[in-house]
A and B are shown apart, each in its own frame.
Chain A
């Protein structure tokens, strides 16, 4: 699986939007871009994923660069419950059952 690079940490104020960047310059054409987040003492949870087009769901939006070498997870209004570690990972479309490697992720701090 191709590697991803994320900032170690970011800080946001409550009720403000948050843009979490991810670089994946070695992404292949068959890699999905996935985002997961992990709250303290819990297993990760799925946030969003996409292939080429931008995606929206109830939790967040995913903006994918035209060359697919980077993406941004957008939380439209951060809440204290959004404080977590956010992981950007790549998963192959065809070998989706193949192992998934997690990078260091971005620890998001949300200030009240």
Chain B
């Protein structure tokens, strides 16, 4: 089946620093990728839709300048959490679409101290 690789799986950073999370579709091309955020025991919350070669579409309430998304190629989308603060600590998950199905990365646990 299709594989989506997400790195890093876990990151701890100091408040004020920026963190980049990569999402790669390993064996297929993904025109569209999605970024989600998930708090403990809660469902996935869609943050933005990333389209190759164009600007991402952010959901209401998600700060564009805070969560920078780049989808420069058909196999790579990145999410950069800029000037991270403790309230940004969360589990971030990416997904890519192939035909009708969604394939997900394994997630990134971000902890901001």
Bound complex: CA of A1 vs CA of B45, how far in Å? 14
* Inter-chain contact B102/A105, CB cutoff 8 Å: no
* Inter-chain contact B104/A44, CB cutoff 8 Å: yes
A28 interface residue (CB < 8 Å to B): no
Bound complex: CA of A110 vs CA of B100, how far in Å? 29
B95 interface residue (CB < 8 Å to A): yes
Size class of A's contact patch?
20 to 34
In the complex, chain B residues 12-55 whose Cβ is within 8 Å of any chain A Cβ = 31-32, 34, 36, 43-46, 49
Size class of B's contact patch?
20 to 34
Known A42-B106, A43-B106; judge A105-B43 contact (CB<8 A). Answer: yes
Bound complex: CA of A36 vs CA of B44, how far in Å? 12
B10 closest partner in A (C-beta): A41
State how many angstroms separate the Cβ of B8 from the closest Cβ of chain A. Answer: 14
* Inter-chain contact B6/A99, CB cutoff 8 Å: no
Known A43-B95, A99-B46; judge A91-B100 contact (CB<8 A). Answer: yes
In the complex, chain A residues 21-43 whose Cβ is within 8 Å of any chain B Cβ = 32, 34, 36, 41-43
B32 closest partner in A (C-beta): A97
Residue-wise, chain B 76-113 has the 8 Å CB interface mask toward A (1 for contact) of 00000000000000010111010111111111010000
- Give me 12 other A-B pairs in contact (C-beta within 8 A), A45-B104, A97-B31, A99-B34 excluded: A34-B100, A42-B107, A43-B94, A43-B105, A43-B107, A44-B93, A44-B104, A46-B103, A98-B49, A100-B95, A101-B46, A102-B46
Residue pairs across A and B with Cβ atoms less than 8 A apart, 5 shown, are A43-B4, A43-B105, A87-B44, A96-B100, A103-B43
